[in-house]
Structure 1
Amino acid sequence: MSELFKGEFSRRQILTTAGLGAISAAALGSMNEEVAAQQPTGQATPHGGSLPPQIKFAPISEKTEVDTGGPPTALPPERRLGFAIVGLGRLALEEIMPAFAECKLAKPTALVSGDAAKANQVAQQYGIKPQNVYNYQNYDNLRNNSDVDVIYIVLPNSMHREYTVRGAKAGKHILCEKPMATTVEDCQQMIDACKQSDRKLMIAYRCQYEPHHRAMIQMIRSKELGTLKVIQADNGQNQGGDLNQWRLKRALAGGGSLPDVGIYCLNATRYLTGEEPIAISAQTFSTPGDPRFKEVEESVTFQLRFPSGVLGICSTSYGFHEGRRFRVFGSDAWGQLDPAFSYNGLRMMISRKSPTNSMAENISEVRIGEKNQFALEMDHIADCVIQNKQPHTPGEEGLQDQKLITLIYEAAQTGKTISLPRVSSGLDATRGPAPRMLH
């Protein structure tokens, strides 16, 4: 048994994840009841006042038609929680900053960057006060800024620990990009720092807040596909261009394709099943002489076995053309998302025997309204701060993935299958309550 997993999880069992989407009539009814129960009804916020109740409309369609869910509930802009974005790279500027336009509870109020000219340009674009632009040296001064409630860390992986710890000591809640860190020890320090400061820590696993993924979780948990047997997940891209980019530097990234994009496959097997693996095997490969992979690995395949008997078969690479998908095989049907891990354009397919023709297989597309994944995750931590509840993907979720990534590398290096103890605390042991539908 690996040293990382001696002893059982000691924290109490967290609420089992509930899906936000569903396919069967029974599941749709259950979903509507959940949404109605979850709508805000006047809870106090740190900024005073309360969340408004949802505006209701009389139905205009028969029950055969898809429910729209009603209009979203939003705080007025002046009462939304303020976010400081730390690191103004590609992800921050292409995805995160534009996503605030779709947020209901969050807004950008500060920036932290080593490039003053770029930071000031972004601040002007988003109406952020000039005095709320910081650098990495005066970052700790955020403690004196009442405009900031949450810090969103979008830095290279090895820097997550330092800026999480400093941010928590500055009295701010933390949303940190995945992977959580580059070592198990760093992950634990991040958790400890936030607990000591009584601040919330959430890891930005955006897919766990996305409607297609929520729907697939619901389908699996409600046995709509029968008994789950196998999950196949693949996520990779042909990484290249600037050879000095941080993702190709082990000291900054902690690894290659596995912690960057392979973590999506690993995390998906865990949240789809709700279980933790009891056995891991793996292989790695890097093309000899390829200058991209002097420090980090190119490709990884790994296999996971879960207590229920489900097998996870995963691959990730920095050397193949972009592919981001998973397929879950049940005893009665299979379901897939392809793409599954992209920022948008997700598509769900279900295949099962036709109920009217014993010689036919029905393969159908399930259409679910798309939501901005970054807006969903930012609003979730804002909601957790407002409601004083645990995030759905807290630090423990990121810590568990880092433990498993470490073991995947170990299994690949030794060529041995690594056995792990069963987690006795039930499903979703490292997750908080399911996210509320606010969009």
Structure 2
Amino acid sequence: MNSRRDFLQKIAGSALALPVLSSFAPRELMQADETPYQGPVLRVAILGLGSYGERVAEAMKDCKRAKLVGVISGTPSKVKTWQAKYGIPEKNCYNYENYDQIKNNPDIDAVYVITPNGLHKEQSIRVAKAGKHVICEKPMAVNAKEAQEMVDACKAAKVKLLIGYRMHFEPKTLEIIRQRKAGEFGKVLFFQGLSGFIIGDPTQWRLNKKLAGGGAMMDIGVYSINGSRYMIGEDPIWVTAQETKNNPQKFKEGVDETIQFQLGFPGGAVASCLSTYSMNNLDRFFLNGDKGFAEMAPSTGYGPIKGRTNKGELEYPHVTHQTVQMDEMSDIILQGKQPIVPVDGEEGLKDMKIVDGIFLAVQTGKKVDLKL
């Protein structure tokens, strides 16, 4: 099946992960540390054992500060397979009917929700009410209303809500952010984000309005939305958008095929972005200032990410995004570490407000003001 996961996996190529780079000091490579890690370890259960769940599980084998200890699935055969593959004890295995009982399991700290978008809200709130920290894959919900309910539920339960923004820990991304903050690009004027691929199987959940909440925008377009914010360093204040649909048989009502959208930022910068399920070779960010530029292509795939600025290529080893993400999220949850780019529920909520604004702009043909 040709899906976003296949698309991102192809981008990854055959590059091997090299020594991990500190996501908080992207210019300094960490030397291999043979000293056993003695600090706290985040014990994680994965809810949803699909292809991306397995990618996360494989990446967590190399984590020092996070460990896969449990699974939640509606497919018993998958549970058995994962038990054998990852050494998961029976007492840490749940199905979709009984995982509220996780509240009685002291051996699980957090649950990573990796299911279709339309299920995120209910499942995340159930996890929160069970007293476990929530890590939810992006987009965090199908609209801002649901996202706000998730934020409120986690606050009420006094648990953390983090969103799976793996690019927020990617070294080349962080180096460009560092350079922009240091003023090396001057006044930021323009951002372009291109996110898209040709999607396959028309029966998959990503083309189901109820499960996906939309089409390409909810799947791949959110990368350009989020990328525009961390590359420019501001939140947008208005949006305009236009939709093109050439295949209404495949892309039903409420499932977008291609959307172009424009964002305006308080400092005067503008962004021009494309989200599509009908074109390949689209994974590029470009940031332009009055003193320099930065380009990333690929910009959001599983790696290796490639980046350059007006000063030349960015040379950093490829790191496995999900390994770094889960170790850093362990530090955020257990040690209160503050990431350079937020990954909390409020960050995800902002993206959902922009998504809502994009869909409204498509429907009305008007500029929509954003209040994030």
SS at match of 2:310: strand
Letter paired with 2:42: L
> 2:298, 2:305 within 8 Å by CA — same for their partners in 1?
yes
Give the match for residue 382 of structure 1.
330
Give the match for residue 270 of structure 1.
229
Q: Say yes or no: does 1:408 pair with 2:351.
A: no
SS at match of 1:151: strand
Q: 1:74 and 1:301 mapped to 2: Cα distance?
A: 50
> 1:82, 1:150 within 8 Å by CA — same for their partners in 2?
yes
Moved over 3 A (4+): 71-79, 292-295, 388-391
1:248 to 194, 202, 207: 207
Q: In the TM superposition, what are the counterparts of 1:279-290 in structure 2 within 5 Å?
A: 279-290=238-249
Q: CA distance change for structure 1 residues 377 and 68 in 2, over 3 Å: closer, same or farther? A: closer
SS at match of 1:324: strand
> 2:191, 2:232 within 8 Å by CA — same for their partners in 1?
no
Q: Say yes or no: does 1:202 pair with 2:162.
A: yes
Q: Say yes or no: does 1:398 pair with 2:348.
A: yes
Which digits, 9 at most, give the CA deviation of each residue in 1:126-173, with x for residues without a partner?
Answer: 111123221000111111112210100001101111111110111100
Q: Say yes or no: does 1:340 pair with 2:299.
A: yes
> 2:357, 2:370 within 8 Å by CA — same for their partners in 1?
no
Which digits, 9 at most, give the CA deviation of each residue in 1:42-84, with x for residues without a partner?
Answer: xxxxxxxxxxxxxxxxxxxxxxxxx533235986599522100
SS at match of 1:291: coil
Unaligned runs of 5+ in 2: 1-22
SS at match of 1:407: helix
SS at match of 1:371: coil
Q: CA distance change for structure 1 residues 272 and 100 in 2, over 3 Å: closer, same or farther? A: same
> 1:20, 1:218 within 8 Å by CA — same for their partners in 2?
no
User: Identity across aligned pairs (percent)?
Assistant: 35
Q: 1:201 and 1:419 mapped to 2: Cα distance?
A: 27
Q: Say yes or no: does 1:80 pair with 2:41.
A: yes
Unaligned runs of 5+ in 1: 1-17, 23-66, 353-363, 424-439
RMSD, aligned CA: 2.0
Letter paired with 2:362: A
Q: 1:137 and 1:75 mapped to 2: Cα distance?
A: 38
Q: Name the stretch that deviates more: 134-143 or 385-394.
A: 385-394
CA displacement at 1:113 relative to structure 2: 0.6
Which digits, 9 at most, give the CA deviation of each residue in 1:380-430, with x for residues without a partner?
Answer: 221122214567311111111111100111111111112345x7xxxxxxx
Give the match for residue 19 of structure 2.
none
Give the match for residue 324 of structure 1.
283
> 2:232, 2:287 within 8 Å by CA — same for their partners in 1?
no
Give the match for residue 148 of structure 1.
108
Q: 1:182 and 1:270 mapped to 2: Cα distance?
A: 20
> 1:280, 1:418 within 8 Å by CA — same for their partners in 2?
yes
Q: CA distance change for structure 1 residues 264 and 75 in 2, over 3 Å: closer, same or farther? A: farther
TM-score where L is the length of structure 2: 0.89
Q: 1:70 and 1:410 mapped to 2: Cα distance?
A: 49
SS at match of 1:374: helix
CA displacement at 1:291 relative to structure 2: 2.2
Q: 2:285 and 2:356 mapped to 1: Cα distance?
A: 22
Q: CA distance change for structure 1 residues 375 and 339 in 2, over 3 Å: closer, same or farther? A: same
Give the match for residue 70 of structure 2.
110
CA displacement at 1:293 relative to structure 2: 4.0
TM-score where L is the length of structure 1: 0.76
